[in-house]
Amino acid sequence: MTQAPAPPRAVRRRHDREIVSLALPAFGALVAEPLFLMVDSAIVGHLGTPQLAGLAIAAALLSTAVSVFVFLAYATTAAVARRVGAGDLQAAIRQGMDGIWLALLLGVAVVVLTIPTAPWLVDIFGASGTAGPYAVTYLRVSSLGIPAMLVVLAATGILRGLQDTRTPLYVAIGGFATNALLNVGLVYGAGLGIAGSAWGTVIAQCGMAVAYLVVVVRGARRHGASLRPDAAGIRASAQAGAPLLVRTLSLRAVLLIATAVAARLGDAQVAAHQIILSLWSLMAFALDAIAIAGQAIIGRYLGADDAEGARQVCRRMVQWGVVSGVVLGALVIVARPLFIPLFTSDTAVQDTLLPALLVVALSQPIAGVVFVLDGVLMGAGDGPYLARAMLLTLAVFAPVALLVPVLGGGLTALWWAMTLMMTVRMLTLWLRSRSGRWIVTGASR
């Protein structure tokens, strides 16, 4: 990122207002999404341990399937925001519709593959003989909601690109409430058991997709945008999303390798790792909310041919990322004695957890910069670079992490390897931002 004079205080305040107005609702929507699984777990848990174990396996498979296609939101946000900045709302919504049609096609393909292969997928995860049938049932029913969830991702990208993060928050809250009510009614009232929980989630997800489509269709009609599928536009959306898919798969590989290494370290180590990973993911929601604001704002500035404005808001968002990381790290250190007993009473797990948590706390400012610059480059449509950078990061992380058990390291060593991974990501993203090569103005990249 090239150096430029610091913007006046009024400009910084304007950037701050933009960031907060987009990031806060985005954070609420991000936090609301995991509550679906929490509600399902709480309700199914009362049916019995095999049912809960089956839910855990099926939910892991489903969350992986959906998270792989998160590019539908990211790529759509960047493309729509550029056209908003260029003042062409009709083209912006048309671009978003291409993303929705792509989401539907991918969703149907995933359902067609998942339903017949469900028993095989569950076996791969090592489900027991008692939990396996429940996992298969939940997976097959819940997979019917995948097209709706992918539509939700694409439609969320449209609204974020239109600088609207409040509607996704309202839809997420409505979906969470509907899911809770349906789960109770279908599991216990109708006596459908774990299948009732799955059907309740599918219905809630379809309701969310319908709510989004109503908003998008109204916008399309208002601005005269076509709703029909366009083969060229769908191909363009897929091409824009492909590099982000590579980035996401590489990141998922990092997390899977870390969990596999932790499992080799022993039961106490892997239990502590799971607790830390849950906390790390929670903090990631806060930082990802800033990144989402970055995607929308940067795309709009570049679409408006305002390269200097993009540089200024990038600089300001990095400052936000650093400060947020420092605050989150400090909270982890201060609150350790309070939240660790909530997760486990096992002293062996607690003793393993404490030093590793210090490493996580110290790495949060790095994570803050990583999330923000990731969002900035996504907003700029710089997907190919993000893919290459994440592949490089994976290549550095994998051998280091795999050496941890070989050299007799414990969980703390593994999380130092995770910190190395985040540092490599920060360096690759920082070098790109410094180069200015991400700054490509215009309605399309």
Taking only the tens place, the pLDDT of each residue in 29-84 is: 777 666 666 677 778 877 887 888 788 788 878 877 888 898 899 999 999 999 99
From residue 276, give the alpha-carbon distance in Å to each of 240, 273, 371. 33, 5, 18
What's the pLDDT at 1? 46
Q: At what angle do helices 307-343 and 267-303 cross, to 10 degrees?
A: 160
Weakly modelled stretches of the chain, pLDDT under 50: 1-3
Number of continuous H segments (helices) and E segments (strands) in the chain: 14, 0
CB 351 within 8 A of CB 412: no
* pLDDT for the residue numbered 320: 93
pLDDT at 364: 95
Q: Which residues of 34-65 are buried (b: 16+ CB within 10 A; e: fewer)?
A: ebbbebbeebbeebeebbbbbbbbbbebbeeb
Question: Per-residue pLDDT tens for 315-370?
Answer: 999 999 999 999 999 998 888 777 777 666 777 777 888 888 899 999 999 999 99
Given this model, what pLDDT does residue 343 score? Answer: 67
State the maximum Cα–Cα separation within the chain, in Å, rounded to a whole number. 66
Q: How far is CA 44 from the centre of its chain?
A: 25
**What pLDDT is recorded for position 2?**
46
